Structure 1
Amino acid sequence: MVAVFNKELLSWYLITLKLRETVESAGNISTTPTSTKSIEFPDQPLQHQQLHKQQQEPSDSVQIFIKNDGQNFEEVPKSPESDWVVTIREKLDHARQDDALSSWSKLCIYRIPHYLREGDDKAYVPQIVSLGPYHHGKKRLRQMDRHKWRSLHRFLKRTNSDIKLYLESVKELEEKARACYEGPISMSSNEFVEMMVLDGCFVLELLRGVCEGFKQLGYPRNDPVFAMRGSMHSIQRDMIMLENQIPLFILDRLLGLQLGDPGQKGLVAKLTLQFFDPLMPTDEPLTKSDRNKLESSLGYTTSFDPLSDQGALHCLDVFRRSLLRSGPQPTPKVWIKKWSHANRVADKRRQQLIHCVTELRESGIKFKKRKTDRFWDVKFKNGILRIPRLLIHDGTKSLFLNLIALEQCHLDCSNDITSYVIFMDNLINSPEDVGHLHYCGIIEHWLGSDAEVSDLFNKLCQEVVFDINDSYLSRLSEEVNRYYNHRWNAWRASLKHNYFGNPWAIISLVAAVVLLLLTFAQTFYGVYDFYKPHN
């Protein structure tokens, strides 16, 4: 490094460089060419000095830098950063921006993880209509767009309002709505707001049409979409999928604008429950007396009022809350809970809650249908496992898979649906298990055979991360397993099964016992006569 401290030395240094270049050129010596433009001195503007230094840079990568006083100069070797380091710095800068813009606390509409998709991708992907940004614009779903615009037209015409009112109102919620979706949404502000308004009004028209009647909303009875036809069931299945959700506060705002009360909340949730009622996994009718007995025995009401709870996230979350409505959930023991949170496991061997139906029957456990409309409320007492009635149809698989995905992704959700499904998966290992539960009135299905029901439950939780100690059914499972492991119960069940299973077996047993008693009596009197002294 060479340091020059005044103008005179700098001048002599530059003149020397110029002479050296002239001599080398005259002697045909091959050197790295240098610029021969005019020499600038420090009393000239700073930009000229820097330009001059770049032109005077020697072949050995030497640069001249000006110090703060404007009089002193310094030569240092040039050390440029490699392209690899620059690329890494750019990636870190993008990560910093992504981390700063992301609001994980508001995330509630997730993309289905790949480890869950491997089971059945069709159960998570809409087949008719797309809602929200995840499947927006897909070619096979575009044919529904014209019906969306048609519904928006009727929506505005019926209320005699201007679209600008809805666009401006939703635009105020754009940032909050974007935060509900996972990852960056590659849509402009106008495109995103347009999608929210279009999809949101389409959802509201469907909800109100099913609850109030499409005819009341002005749709003809032969409408291809807005009518109670076969396509409505497929639309309901698409609207219950996790990736196909609209934030509930967007729907509340749109319905509030339509009704003249933008701040209202809860009405969309109420409409949602009526709209998704055909997808309920149970239709157990309860008489008024049965309901009163159930409420008095449990000490709480079984009714669900969506207007009283304003914390729902979207339509799927509203439906899940209605399934798990009212009532305290059994909690694991304290030491189990501490161990569970410290040791999350995904081992399939640790997801075995109880034995299958066939094995439990061999130990003497009986199965009976429990009268309640809450399909998850299982009870066990005195060797009798009481399970509410479960209705299985062609939409049950998609419904359970999306409910499980929500519980797997959203940390604020309990794992109650997952616990119930795994419990039923443990009970059902074969078509014979399904057949016995159907005989007891516990399972009612519209599928082709008992084997299809067995296959359905065995595939629902193949890749689910679950800890049995966090299940609300863990204590009940311990009681069932304790009863199962008691040998006397198994012996008694075997005796009853082998010798009291049908009338002919009972008659044979009684005859054998009588014959045994007669034989014993004959032997006794024979021995007695032999040893009795004669008079």
Structure 2
Amino acid sequence: MSGESQKRISASLNEKLSGRSQLSNEKCIFRVHDRLRRHNPQAYEPEIVAIGPYHHGKSKLQNMEEHKLRYLQGLLHRRGETSVERYIEALLPLEGRARRCYAEEISLSKDDFVEMMCLDGCFLIETLRKSQQHNLRNDEDPIFQMDWLGLSVGRDLFLFENQLPLFVLVQLFDMTKFAESENLSDLAIPYFTTGFFPCRDGYQFCTKNSDGEAIHLLDLMHKSWCSSFAAKLPEIKDFCDDLPFEFIKSSTELELRGIKFEKAERSTSWLHITFANGVIKIPPFPVGDVTETFFRNLVAYEEYILTGYEDRRCVTDYAIFMDCLIDSSRDVERLGQRGIITNCLGDDAAVSTIINKLFNDVILRREHFCYRRLFKEVNEQSSRQLNIWKAHLMRNYFKTPWSIISFLAACFLILLATVQAIFSILQYTSGLTKQK
């Protein structure tokens, strides 16, 4: 009886194992797990358009499927073609490799999967092209006629779950480009940079990145925005091993302790924050409707993709840095007055809420934290006893302009009383002298 049970259980487990694929380092497109998703599920969900298999076929996204066909038809017409046959022929050999890029099993058949890659890939490439080449646009194209729709499409194309492998896009792009010198990065990097950084004065973005080095568009943008900053950091083995880690205080508290904040006029990266001579310089950063989605998807990307010991999670560390600086709407207002935060929402409390929620359930790698040395230097200067006394006085006695006026009035009265006392003593002394 035990022998039959052994065979039955073994056969059942072997059958389950045979249906599973081996773990592969090719997997690079994931569904965001519930621990991150629960804080704002909509930040990871497409609003308008599905790209790739994870959200393919959802009823709320079907309106854009007709638009995808319209874009593909326009592409064929522009190239003098009447059939997609050569594109399907090029994508068929890539089907297995592309399918392995997705962490979850994809239920689409081979034919449906290849059709999806062709339709979604051509739509995405045409959107990027038309964003720069206005002559390619149709006057009735709603994506470029209605600002809200264009913003929503750009947001959806950035989502971690809404990606196609970059080698699929490069294949389609190379088959449809106008000149040999064209590359996908030249279209993608300005498109997303403009979408997320509408106020870019003083920025020096990396606008070149080899298509072959990235795994999908989100990865391409992460490399473009983070590479120059990461290159300035010391190697992990030399990085602050002897430095204690302690969070810094809010911007309001730090200013009370003598720390100043200034806008970094020019910087190679919006991540490049410096501290010298008691001044923290931060590149200007706009906060708008898509900021939370922008951050959450980059943070999710870093958690899933940047798993190696040498990997720096620059965006996650930046979110933690800003979370430390901003405790309330007052901090947002102060940083806004200094030109650091551009509040495109118009509500300081809303900006504070967005930034304070970004760090929820995010894992901090303390030993690899990009701003660890800066935190140490700021904490050392702000914790000097004189600065602490100053902060105590400002927080407890000079909260409002009226308290400052009252203090000055009291000082003035004390000064008058002192002067009066001195005159009285001098008069008394003079009287004694005359009596003698």
TM score, norm. by length of structure 2: 0.86
Partner of 2:99: 178
Quote how far apart the aligned CAs of 1:486 are: 1.0
Distance 2:292 2:104 in 1: 27
Structure 2 unaligned residues grouped into runs of 5+: none
Q: Is the 8 A contact 2:46 2:162 kept in 1?
A: yes
Match of 1:392 among 258, 272, 287: 287
Change (3 A) 1:112 1:141: same
Change (3 A) 1:383 1:524: farther
Q: Is the 8 A contact 1:206 1:226 kept in 2?
A: no
Q: Which has the larger radius of gyration?
A: 1
Change (3 A) 1:517 1:243: same
Query: Which amino acid is 2:31 matched to?
Result: R
Partner of 2:28: 108
Change (3 A) 1:92 1:353: same
Match of 1:234 among 152, 169, 178: 152
SS of the counterpart of 1:276?
helix
Query: Which amino acid is 2:15 matched to?
Result: E
Change (3 A) 1:522 1:408: same
Quote how far apart the aligned CAs of 1:303 are: 5.2
Distance 1:418 1:388 in 2: 17
Match of 1:256 among 174, 177, 198: 174
Quote how far apart the aligned CAs of 1:490 are: 2.5
Change (3 A) 1:127 1:305: closer
Deviations 1:428-467 (CA, angstroms, capped at 9, x unpaired): 1111211221222221112242111111111112111112
Query: Which amino acid is 2:191 matched to?
Result: F
Quote how far apart the aligned CAs of 1:400 are: 0.6
Change (3 A) 1:112 1:266: farther
Partner of 1:33: none
Match of 1:243 among 152, 155, 161: 161
Quote how far apart the aligned CAs of 1:475 are: 0.7
Structure 1 unaligned residues grouped into runs of 5+: 1-60, 62-76, 292-301, 341-349
Partner of 1:34: none
Please say if 1:87 is aligned against 2:19: no
Distance 2:75 2:186 in 1: 20
Aligned pairs (5 A) from 1:123-522: 123-161=43-81, 162-213=83-134, 216-217=135-136, 219-225=137-143, 227=145, 229-259=147-177, 267-281=183-197, 283-286=199-202, 302=204, 304-308=206-210, 310-327=212-229, 328-331=231-234, 334=237, 353-372=247-266, 374-411=269-306, 414-492=312-390, 508=409, 511=412, 514-515=415-416, 518=419, 521=422
Q: Which has the higher helix share?
A: 2
Distance 1:513 1:138 in 2: 76
Change (3 A) 1:78 1:313: closer
Q: Is the 8 A contact 2:265 2:283 kept in 1?
A: yes
SS of the counterpart of 2:339?
coil
Distance 1:126 1:470 in 2: 32
Change (3 A) 1:435 1:229: closer
Distance 2:144 2:255 in 1: 49
Quote how far apart the aligned CAs of 1:83 are: 3.4
Change (3 A) 1:277 1:81: closer
Q: Is the 8 A contact 1:351 1:467 kept in 2?
A: no
Deviations 1:99-152 (CA, angstroms, capped at 9, x unpaired): 1xx422x22212111111111110101011100011111121122111111211
Change (3 A) 1:331 1:517: farther
Match of 2:39 among 79, 97, 119: 119
Quote how far apart the aligned CAs of 1:492 are: 4.2
Q: Is the 8 A contact 1:499 1:509 kept in 2?
A: no
Distance 2:248 2:151 in 1: 35
Distance 1:333 1:318 in 2: 23
Count how many residue pairs are aligned between Structure 1 and Structure 2.
427
Distance 2:102 2:292 in 1: 24
Quote how far apart the aligned CAs of 1:249 are: 1.5
SS of the counterpart of 1:243?
coil
Q: Is the 8 A contact 1:196 1:246 kept in 2?
A: yes
SS of the counterpart of 1:251?
helix
Query: Which amino acid is 1:138 matched to?
Result: K
Q: Is the 8 A contact 2:246 2:376 kept in 1?
A: no
Distance 1:192 1:360 in 2: 54
SS of the counterpart of 1:131?
coil
Change (3 A) 1:252 1:80: closer
Q: Is the 8 A contact 1:360 1:484 kept in 2?
A: yes
Quote how far apart the aligned CAs of 1:220 are: 2.8
Quote how far apart the aligned CAs of 1:381 are: 2.0
Distance 1:530 1:227 in 2: 93
Q: Which has the higher contact order (CA 8 A, sep 6+)?
A: 2
Quote how far apart the aligned CAs of 1:514 are: 4.5
Q: Is the 8 A contact 1:133 1:185 kept in 2?
A: yes
Identity %: 32
Quote how far apart the aligned CAs of 1:470 are: 1.5
SS of the counterpart of 2:199?
coil
